[in-house]
Amino acid sequence: MASTDRMFKGQSAAERRAERKAKLDAAALEIIGTRGWGEATMTEICRTAGLTERYFYESYRNRDELYLALLDRLAEEVRDAIVGGLSTGPADPRARIEAGARALVDVMFGDPRIGRAALSEGLDTPVLQAKRRQIIQSLGTVIEEQRAALFGPSPDPARAAMTIAAISGSTSELFIRRLEGRLDVDDAQLARYLADAALALLQV
């Protein structure tokens, strides 16, 4: 076995690196999602992960890079939830859209840390804001693909693009208000409203 991938306690070097990275990621989500981005210093992330800063630099150049990677991972969870919800259940578009909305709400609020880390923290950091815009745009593409699968190609691509932007933007704002305690609704109410609003917009 190559010296660069020596086994230790049944794990290869690559497996140990992956495990340390997973600990850093979990620590970042815990701190950002409960105490906020301002508390997520490199020192505190390493302390929470039970690792030294040496191992932080093994995976990330700085804490911004870690947060960017975390946002990508959360976006993948959201994308999978939307597609999974919309792809299951009866063929009725209303039922499928509500299933997608429920799956999205479950991801964002089933673990409140995820919603806060995904939407509410690091708002004054340009690189994180740019990443969020990129993710929202990519999720909009997913929503448009699912819309086309339900209703067929749009005869007006410009209108379809505006509709997807309206759905993405309003959904983000609703989630942020609820995370901040400014929207007193439960998961079921929120999912139903999102489904009703999306259906009304998508069919116009």
What pLDDT, in 10s, does the model give residues 155-172?
A: 898 998 899 999 999 999
* Residue 199 Cα to chain centre, angstroms: 22
Instruction: Tokens for 119, please give them.
Output: 């939407």
Q: What is the dihedral of CA 123, 124, 127, 133, to 10 degrees?
A: 40
Which of 38-52, 147-161, 173-187 has the lowest average pLDDT?
147-161
pLDDT at site 153: 87
pLDDT confidence bin for 8, thresholds 50/70/90: low
Question: For residue 53, what pLDDT is reported?
Answer: 94
Task: Please tell me the CATH code under which domain 63-202 is placed.
Answer: 1.10.357.10
Mean pLDDT of 46-50: 98
Beta bridge partners of 11: 8
* pLDDT above 80: residue 93: yes
CA distance 119 to 134: 13
Mean pLDDT of the chain: 91
- Confidence bin at 2 (pLDDT 50/70/90): very low
> Does residue 182 or residue 146 have the better pLDDT?
182
Q: Where are the domains of the chain?
A: 11-59, 63-202
- Tell me the pTM: 0.87
Structure tokens given for 162: 């505006």
Specify the CATH number for 11-59; select among 1.10.3470, 2.60.40, 1.10.10, 2.40.10.
1.10.10
28 CB-near residues (< 8 Å, 6+ apart): 40, 45, 63, 66, 67, 70, 117
Query: CA Rg, the chain, in Å?
Result: 20
- From the number of C-beta atoms within 10 Å of its C-beta (0-12, 13-18, 19+), residue 133 rates as exposed
Res 63: pLDDT: 95
